[in-house]
Amino acid sequence: MTYPQSPLMGRMMSQPLLISSLIRHADRYYGDTEIVSRRVEGDIHRTTYRECHRRARKLANALTRLGVSMGDRIATLAWNGYRHLEAYYGVSGMGAVLHTINPRLHPEQIAYIANHAEDQYLLFDLTFLPVIEAIAPLCTTIRGFVALCDRDRLPASDKLPGLLCYEDLLEAESDEFEWPLFDENSASSLCYTSGTTGNPKGALYSHRSALLHSYASALPDALNVSARDVVLPVVPMFHVNAWGLPYSVMLTGAKLVFPGPALDGKSLYELFEQEKVTFSAGVPTVWLGLLTYVGQNKLKFSTFRRTVIGGSACPPAMMKTLRHDYDVEVVHAWGMTEMSPLGTCCTLLASHEGLPDEQKQALLETQGRVIFGVDMKIVDDDGKELPWDGKTYGNLLVRGPWVVSGYFKAEGGDVLQDGWFPTGDVAVINPEGYLQITDRSKDVIKSGGEWIGSIDLENIAVAHPAVLQAACIGVHHPKWDERPLLVVVKKPGADVSREELLAFYEGKIAKWWTPDDVVFADALPLGATGKILKNRIRETYRDYRLPTA
Amino acid sequence: MTYPQSPLMGRMMSQPLLISSLIRHADRYYGDTEIVSRRVEGDIHRTTYRECHRRARKLANALTRLGVSMGDRIATLAWNGYRHLEAYYGVSGMGAVLHTINPRLHPEQIAYIANHAEDQYLLFDLTFLPVIEAIAPLCTTIRGFVALCDRDRLPASDKLPGLLCYEDLLEAESDEFEWPLFDENSASSLCYTSGTTGNPKGALYSHRSALLHSYASALPDALNVSARDVVLPVVPMFHVNAWGLPYSVMLTGAKLVFPGPALDGKSLYELFEQEKVTFSAGVPTVWLGLLTYVGQNKLKFSTFRRTVIGGSACPPAMMKTLRHDYDVEVVHAWGMTEMSPLGTCCTLLASHEGLPDEQKQALLETQGRVIFGVDMKIVDDDGKELPWDGKTYGNLLVRGPWVVSGYFKAEGGDVLQDGWFPTGDVAVINPEGYLQITDRSKDVIKSGGEWIGSIDLENIAVAHPAVLQAACIGVHHPKWDERPLLVVVKKPGADVSREELLAFYEGKIAKWWTPDDVVFADALPLGATGKILKNRIRETYRDYRLPTA
């Protein structure tokens, strides 16, 4: 889309916003800054931005030799590590498109996505060899698989003839490669949403969207990243570009620490301490493991000071533990694959400084304010904008230069509503612009024409000391259409009764929001990104008969 | 300039980066946040971002009615205040070009600039009525002068027939105005450099350059502005857009405080305290007045925590006073009118944390590291890149999306060197990428083929307790070509001899750098932006005979 030009154009340098400029900057100004990776091989690997840039250039040469050209898709199935980072820059830098695939998907889904994307090559960590062997016969466009390892470790797989070795490819190439200059709206990377309905759909990012997102995400009221930070992205690089952190660390010059496949509490804690991590980011379930380990061993964090939690709502109890017991600032964030992903981050205003901690905590539990670039509104089912009064529920729409205008290959058709992207979330916004996601549109419980937010009910349940996980769904009720049913997984060794749990809601919410019943389960079904799959739970309890029915 | 497109373009929303989106954001998300102004009228005026947006829209309607259209230049001759801010957004937002003129220039220069820019209207604060009366007959393109006041205060000037009243213009208009969407490379604002040689030249900014600069300038390692800040720009809005602060406050939602014409220590201090200012920015000479007042009255700052000092090098003594006596963090910055203006900001790295304060101070006295977007290098007179060893002097070149590619109307011809902008500064860069401006190319003293930095010599002189101001210039020497002469203004009531001053250099620099002589002056000539005019001093002492000659 082009816009009219003024009769008088500015006289500023014309420089496209390109991902290659990030690594060029990191090399030139923070060349000796470390990148530390726990590897699939088990050891700790250390390198620098300068060396990363050098190897990214070698990779660009290797891919060129393999016949890859601008716009071609190169897939990865890899953990957070330095080789994956080289692919981020080598692939996008040369003008090809980095397609990060979530290895937790079913092999059939992976093959579907790789074929849909028409991937040319696929780079993978050795962990995923069985997946690769399973999908290889199904992938119709992939011309070669590249194992992210050196020759010594290259597996002899008779199911993968012609398997390429990443280190061999790099070894053979010169490190001289001039990053090409091209239109900043060119595609840089591709990430499919693990939608719960329909086929996966690809969000196709541009260099411009990635760069603007990088600037915005590093701002003081967003991730607040500086050259003094040591950043450990727990959020995977196959999950919306690890929330842009592989880009924003290069923009700011922060030291980078990659956890590799070891996401258990012990491994993470050791890496936090050894590398003096100051900042991390991930979904709530990961912090659960870390906090359990730290709590059981009565440990403290020496340098860890701030974390961004997103992907799904952070349980208030977890936020309080981090804030009060460990003095870690929690920035609750909200975004989507379709938003690169950051939309809002929760930080307080000067006017909140004198508030009692309970009120601060209540604000911090919201998803916060938009970052400049993103605009949001809530609308009713007819598209009419609703007030920001902190009470009115509405469908949340967003727009901005790092929000998709549609999906790759126009999958799903024209998705925008009047130029806005419908998030599928239901939210309230308070008069100060703080967003609170109350539910997914499809998860909201519609009781007698009113909306009950399932997330509120779940947050209360997990605040109970005996509850490990909870999901609240609407099940059929003859009078109210739907009423809430709470499904609970107890903590190992803990016990709690149905009646105790229902009593736990007293005084915390409007009485008519209280679930009509509780069932206990051994586990909740989790999706590939660690989110609870509510549609599966709804299926399980589709014919559940409530005692109130 | 266009760049080749990839066969695969991203599928992100196409939104131009426009200045109007900043005020729309501030209205929508920080609508109640205050803008406080000390007015020319003498009182304190309070408004909000929402009201500023409303009045900017009225202004856009008023200008449209006056026949102003896209690309037209609208000049201002005004202090930092809310009406000036409305012009920033009303003018640029509608697609016209805001031309901020430095009122401290000579009236002939102002008229030259207004004619060169072909300004259509000129908005001015009442302070500048005499200037306007002087230039009105000389201005050939200006169709109307607008006094920034209400009807009661509109002066009856027979030299200005048809003088327009700003508040009347706004009063007559609706606040309904849809900001137009246009190409982000369209010109947004114009600022002439007060070059010491040749005619003034205009830096013509674009909406894109302004927006990218806003993102970058708010980063933690730059100005570090958040919604919790209260920002008082002492740096004038006629001096490179007050270093972008009128834009970055809207991006971040910070409260804004304008000092108006009252830049004396007492007025500034009172405003800092009353409005709980946390952050300020200005040239060193302003802080001199503020620190003198605060020191004499034994006062402290209650909320002031961080300041950016630029425009010229911050004397180390001033930085130490701010840091140690007042606990104010000083971010030394460097930039140029041609750079929007920010290039580098000085913050420390994690690796510096354990350093003794003296070494920290030495680093903080440099101009710091580039902000992502800006790239720099030092070259010799043949354009060959020089090493970053902290010792080698070179001509400093820069490039980036907020650096000019040339001047308005191609004044000065093709100014770039191989795509880089020559800053006219001489600098060294250390291995960590810290820039130190050692001199202006024309101020460097060339003694026997070696370069002596005049700024180092001046910094030592002003560290002497009896010295108020100092300038060091090269004067002719029969053997060495040039040798340094120190020109000194003593503090009121203080005394120091030539010999004592020369002895003060011992052990602080290489012996051969020591000035050959000292002369005492009552005052140093200052330019319109408060900088010491060395070329005037050189003229004064052109035929000075050194005792060593």
Q: Do strands A517-520 and A450-452 pair parallel, antiparallel, or not at all (unpaired)?
A: unpaired
Q: Please name the residues in contact with A123: beta carbons below 8 A apart, sequence gap of 6 or more.
A: A74, A75, A76, A77, A78, A83, A84, A87, A146, A148, A166
Comparing C-alpha atoms, which of A313, A314, A245 is closest to residue A279?
Answer: A245
**Rounded Cα distance, A466 and A496, in Å:** 6
Q: What letter would DSSP give residue B258?
A: E
| Residues of B with catalytic function | 193, 338, 446, 451
Mean pLDDT of chain B: 95
Q: Please name the residues in contact with A500: beta carbons below 8 A apart, sequence gap of 6 or more.
A: none
**Which of B185, B204, B251 is opposite residue A372, by nearest beta carbon?**
B251
CB atoms near residue A69 (< 10 Å): 13
For residue B326, give the H/E element and its range.
helix B326-326
**Total beta-carbon pairs less than 8 A apart between chain A and chain B:** 256
Q: Which residue is listed with tokens 């190169």?
A: A74
Contact A258, A267 (CB under 8 A): no
Comparing C-alpha atoms, which of A123, A119, A109 is closest to residue A59?
Answer: A123
Q: How many degrees, rounded to 5, is the angle at CA A447 between CA A446 and CA A450?
A: 75
Give Dmax (Cα) for chain B. 74
* Cβ-based contacts of B276 with chain A (< 8 Å): 350
Contact B190, B241 (CB under 8 A): no
Q: What letter would DSSP give residue B433?
A: -
Question: Touching check for B215 and chain A: CB below 8 Å?
Answer: yes
Q: Which residue is listed with tokens 């605009």?
A: A375
Strand partners, A38: A44
Structure tokens at B532: 């010491």
Contact B185, B267 (CB under 8 A): no
Could you read off the pLDDT tens digit of each residue along chain A, which spans 549 residues?
Answer: 789 999 999 999 999 999 999 999 999 999 999 999 999 989 999 999 999 999 999 999 999 999 999 999 999 999 999 999 999 999 999 999 999 999 989 999 999 999 999 999 999 999 999 999 999 999 999 999 999 999 999 998 889 989 999 999 999 999 999 999 999 999 999 999 966 567 899 999 999 999 999 999 999 999 999 999 999 999 999 999 999 999 999 999 999 999 999 999 999 999 999 999 999 999 988 898 999 999 999 999 999 999 999 988 888 999 999 999 999 999 999 999 999 999 999 999 999 999 999 999 999 999 999 999 999 999 988 899 999 999 888 999 999 999 999 999 999 899 999 999 999 999 999 999 999 998 888 888 888 877 788 888 998 999 999 999 999 999 999 998 899 999 999 999 999 999 999 999 999 988 889 999 999 999 999 887 677 899 899 999 999 999 988
**Rounded Cα distance, B445 and B423, in Å:** 18
A230-233: strand order across its sheet: A44-48, A34-38, A255-258, A230-233, A279-282, A306-309, A329-335, A342-345, A369-370
Comparing C-alpha atoms, which of B356, B357, B531 is closest to residue B443?
Answer: B531
**Displacement of CA A181 from its chain's centroid (Å):** 29
**Which of B183, B215, B402 is opposite residue A216, by nearest beta carbon?**
B215
Helix (H, G, I), strand (E, B) or coil at B217: helix
| Residues of A with catalytic function | 193, 338, 446, 451
- Tell me: pLDDT of B243 over 60: yes
Contact A378, A385 (CB under 8 A): yes
Closest residue on chain B to A276 (Cα): B350
**Rounded Cα distance, A143 and A118, in Å:** 10
Task: Classify residue B24 by burial, with Cβ atoms within 10 Å: 0-12, 13-18, 19+.
Answer: middle
Provide the shortest C-alpha distance from residue A545 to chain B (in Å). 45
Question: Touching check for B509 and chain A: CB below 8 Å?
Answer: no
Q: What is chain A's percent helix, strand, coil content, to nearest 5?
A: 30, 25, 45
* Cβ-based contacts of B385 with chain A (< 8 Å): none
pLDDT digits (tens, 9 = 90+) for B95-120: 999 999 999 899 999 999 999 999 99
Q: Residue B408 is which amino acid? A: F
pLDDT digits (tens, 9 = 90+) for B291-301: 999 999 999 99
Q: Which residue is listed with tokens 């062997």?
A: A133
Q: Do A25 and B375 touch (CB under 8 A)?
A: yes
Structure tokens at B386: 């020089």
Question: Touching check for B286 and chain A: CB below 8 Å?
Answer: no
Average pLDDT over residues B384-410: 95
For residue B55, give the H/E element and its range.
helix B49-65
DSSP states of A379-407 as a string? E-TT--B---SSS--EEEEEE-TTSBSS-
Q: Measure CA of the first residue to CA of the last residue in chain B; give whole Å.
A: 55
For residue B168, give the H/E element and its range.
helix B166-171
What ranges make up the beta strands (E) of B214-323? 230-233, 255-258, 279-282, 306-309
Question: Which residues of B, range 1-60, sit inside 8 Å of A by Cβ?
Answer: 1-17, 22, 24-25, 28-30
Structure tokens at B203: 């830096």
Q: Best residue in A1, A5, A13 to probe B by mutation, most B CBs within 10 Å?
A: A13
**Rounded Cα distance, A84 and A99, in Å:** 11
Provide the shortest C-alpha distance from residue B327 to chain A (in Å). 20
Question: Touching check for B71 and chain A: CB below 8 Å?
Answer: yes
Q: Do B29 and A215 touch (CB under 8 A)?
A: no
**Which of B3, B204, B348 is opposite residue A183, by nearest beta carbon?**
B3
Q: Best residue in A12, A74, A179, A385 to probe B by mutation, most B CBs within 10 Å?
A: A12
Structure tokens at A46: 């250390």
Q: Do strands B369-370 and B375-379 pair parallel, antiparallel, or not at all (unpaired)?
A: unpaired
**Which of B11, B14, B16 is opposite residue A407, by nearest beta carbon?**
B11
Q: Do A95 and B347 touch (CB under 8 A)?
A: no
Question: Which residues of A, range 333-372, sit inside 8 Å of B by Cβ?
Answer: 340, 347-350, 353, 369-370, 372
What ranges make up the beta strands (E) of B462-515? 467-477, 481-490
Q: Best residue in B2, B6, B184 to probe A by mutation, most A CBs within 10 Å?
A: B6
CB atoms near residue A429 (< 10 Å): 27
Strand partners, A344: A334, A370
Peptide bond between residue B341 and the one before it cis (omega within 30 degrees of 0) = yes
Helix (H, G, I), strand (E, B) or coil at A479: coil
Strand partners, A12: B404
- How many residues does this entry show for chain B? 549
Q: What are phi and psi of B484, to 5 degrees?
A: -75, 135
**3-state secondary structure string, A158-225?**
CCCCCCEEHHHHHHCCCCCCCCCCCCCCEEEEEEEECCCCCCCEEEEEEHHHHHHHHHHHCCCCCCCC
Give residue A473's pLDDT.
95
**Rounded Cα distance, B181 and A5, in Å:** 10
